[in-house]
């Protein structure tokens, strides 16, 4: 009787493993079909596989995973997102700094190229 129960448990574990791998594979194929990018698909498949293994096999980890996700959502609610006007102002300031910096570096580069080329072409 014990031998039969052990065989049934082993069989059920194999079925559980097969279901997890099959779900991961199906979701990976779906992600590849949607994105068309193999690296994203592999990364997503491994993440999905990890989550499925955590959910199916580890009760303590499953509890910790749900606690972590709950904490993440609580922290997301605490974030003070900027308004549209603040975002546009910050973006404008950053664009002006980038344009000014690129112009300054371009001028420095031109001056250095002119100076070095005039030194190189000097014949003594």
pLDDT tens track for 85-111: 999 999 999 999 999 999 999 999 999
Q: Rounded to an integer, what distance in angstroms lies between the CA atom of residue 15 and that of residue 19?
A: 6
> How many C-beta neighbours within 10 Å does residue 45 have?
18
Tokens of 13: 């574990």
| Residue 81 confidence (pLDDT) | 79
**Long-range CB contacts for residues 81-90, cutoff 8 Å, separation at least 24:** none
Q: Quick check: 65 and 54 in contact, CB under 8 A?
A: yes
Average pLDDT over residues 23-52: 68
Higher pLDDT residue, 122 or 115?
A: 115
Q: What is the CA radius of gyration of the chain?
A: 29
* Amino acid 65: pLDDT: 67
CB-CB neighbours of 22 under 10 Å: 11
pLDDT of residue 64: 73
The single residue listed with the structure tokens 């559980």 is 16
């Amino acid at each position: 009787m014990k031998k039969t129960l052990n065989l049934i448990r082993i069989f059920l574990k194999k079925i559980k493993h097969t279901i997890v791998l099959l779900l991961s594979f199906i979701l990976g194929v779906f992600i590849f079909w949607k994105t068309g990018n193999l690296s994203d698909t592999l990364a997503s498949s491994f993440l999905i596989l990890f989550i499925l293994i955590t959910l199916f096999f580890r009760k303590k980890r499953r509890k910790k995973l749900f606690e972590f996700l709950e904490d993440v959502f609580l922290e997301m609610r605490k974030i003070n997102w900027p308004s549209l006007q603040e975002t546009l102002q910050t973006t404008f300031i950053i664009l002006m700094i980038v344009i000014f910096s690129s112009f300054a570096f371009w001028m420095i580069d031109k001056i250095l190229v002119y100076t070095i080329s005039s030194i190189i072409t000097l014949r003594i």
